[in-house]
């Protein structure tokens, strides 16, 4: 289980994905985008809109079971992207780099970008916006819902 949690709201995700699009715009033009499912789908949609990129492909990788890291497996290949030339690979997060390395092997000439990056995965991506510590679990808006949380003062004393 993670030591820290970082909660990302829909507004924050949209701002961060748009900031990533600004960085990527300078590095273009791009033929298309490959979204890593599922986490990369929403950032890829935002970036595709901002860059006016109409060709959006996906690659499906299964790695996590809840918070447990497992063996990465490709369940859908990004056929339209070829070797990745002129394509962006978009994901929400690079954690250990396991998924990123697998996708890089499929699309060696693509530019890899994530919204968030952890230290272990950071060397595998080309562009990212926000770094978080390795022991932080990011709670994305599609994984959470609003609820009451007691003030810290009511919790255990350390």
Active-site residue, from 66, 92, 135, 143: 92
CA distances from residue 22 to 15, 31, 108, 113, 121 in whole angstroms, order as listed: 11, 16, 23, 12, 22
Is 81 in contact with 75 (CB distance < 8 Å)? no
**List 91, 126, 135, 143, catalytic entry:** 91
User: Is 11 in the active site?
Assistant: no
**Among the listed residues 62, 125, 119, the one whose alpha carbon sits nearest the alpha carbon of residue 91:** 125
Catalytic residue among 95, 126, 135, 143: 95
Q: What is the DSSP letter of 96?
A: S
SS3 assignment, position 86? coil
95 in active site:
yes
From the CA atom positions of the chain, what is the Rg in Å? 16
Q: Closest Cα to residue 111, out of 53, 38, 66? A: 53
Reply yes or no on whether 126 is catalytic. no
Q: How many angstroms separate the CA atoms of 95 and 59, rounded?
A: 17
Catalytic residues: 91-92, 95
């Amino acid at each position: 289980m993670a030591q820290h949690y970082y909660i990302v709201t829909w507004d924050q995700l949209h701002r961060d994905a748009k900031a990533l699009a600004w960085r990527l715009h300078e590095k273009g033009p791009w033929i298309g985008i490959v979204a890593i499912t599922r986490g990369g789908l929403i950032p890829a949609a935002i970036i595709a809109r901002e860059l006016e990129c109409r060709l959006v492909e996906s690659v499906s990788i299964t790695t996590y079971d809840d918070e447990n890291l497992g063996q990465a497996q490709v369940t859908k290949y990004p056929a339209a992207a070829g070797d990745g030339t002129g394509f962006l690979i978009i994901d929400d997060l690079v954690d250990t780099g396991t998924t990123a390395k697998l996708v890089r092997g499929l699309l060696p000439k693509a530019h890899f970008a994530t919204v968030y990056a952890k230290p272990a995965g950071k060397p595998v991506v080309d562009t990212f916006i926000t770094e978080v510590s390795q022991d932080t679990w990011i709670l994305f808006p599609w994984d959470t819902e609003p609820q009451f949380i007691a003030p810290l003062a009511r919790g255990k004393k350390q």
